[in-house]
Structure formats: structure tokens, C-alpha cells
Amino acid sequence: MDDTPFGYKKPRIWQNARTLVVSIHRMSLEHLPKFELYEEGSQIRRSIKSVKSNIVEGYGRRRHKAEYLRFLDYSYASCLETIDHLETLHETGSLQDIAVFEDLEERLTDLSKSIYLFIRGVERQHDPDRT
């Protein structure tokens, strides 16, 4: 088993979530009106951070398949929540930069698909000693 404290950083889903945390944080500060910083902007920052954090917590519990899957499911759900917040920001006109919206939407959709496939892989081939 890889017991290094940073083994959770190996999966591509964590790496992609990490870059999205930074991108969405920046988007919320640079492209949203001030009043959204504490409303939908705060919600989208929390939901994308939850995606990454749940991957980490699941990894920490990977010796127990059901626990690992539970946290990966939370991560997947938080990713879908983040997409919903992004769409709300766009639909309400708070996020007006279409290029930023489309880039983030595509990356979040890809991440949600990757998490889903990762979950399916864990369901089929769970080995707590392999990351």
C-alpha cells in the first residue's frame, strides 16, 4: 500500500479538481459582480472545494470499499452542484463572459464524467493497496 501522505494527489480526478478549484475561485473574484461574492459566488467556491476534499477523504478511507465509494459519490454530487451554480450564474447574467462560462462548463462536465468512471472502476476492481 502507498502510505505516503500525498498518495491522494495521484488520481487524475484530484488533479483536475484542484485546477478547477483555482479557476473557479479566480472566476468568482474577477468576473462576478461584487454582490455575488457572498451569494452564488460563495456557493460555487464551496461546492468545487468539496469535490476535491471528498476525493481526498475517500482516498483516506480506501481500505473500506463502501467508505471510499461514499466519498467519491459525494465528490460526484458536489461536481454536479458546481455545474448547477455555474449555470445559474450564467443564466442570471452574473457571469457574462461566455468564454469563461463555456471553458468552466466543459471542464466541469469532463470532471464529472471522470469521477463517474472512477467510481465504476472502484466498484469493479477495488484494491485498497493500489492507488
Whether residue 14 contacts residue 8, with contact meaning beta carbons closer than 8 Å, is answered with yes
Query: What pLDDT does residue 3 have?
Result: 47
pLDDT of residue 35 exceeding 50, the answer is: yes
CA distance linking residue 28 with residue 23, whole number of Å: 9
pTM: 0.89
pLDDT in tens, 67-123: 999 999 999 999 999 999 999 999 999 999 999 999 999 999 999 999 999 999 999
Q: Which of 115, 39, 103 is nearest to 77 (CA)?
A: 115
Q: Is residue 131 part of a domain?
A: no
Q: Is residue 99 part of a domain?
A: yes
Q: Which domain holds residue 34?
A: 9-125
Q: Is residue 38 part of a domain?
A: yes
| CATH of residue 58 | 1.20.1440.60
The helix (run of H) or strand (run of E) holding residue 85 is helix 65-91
Q: How many domains does the chain have?
A: 1
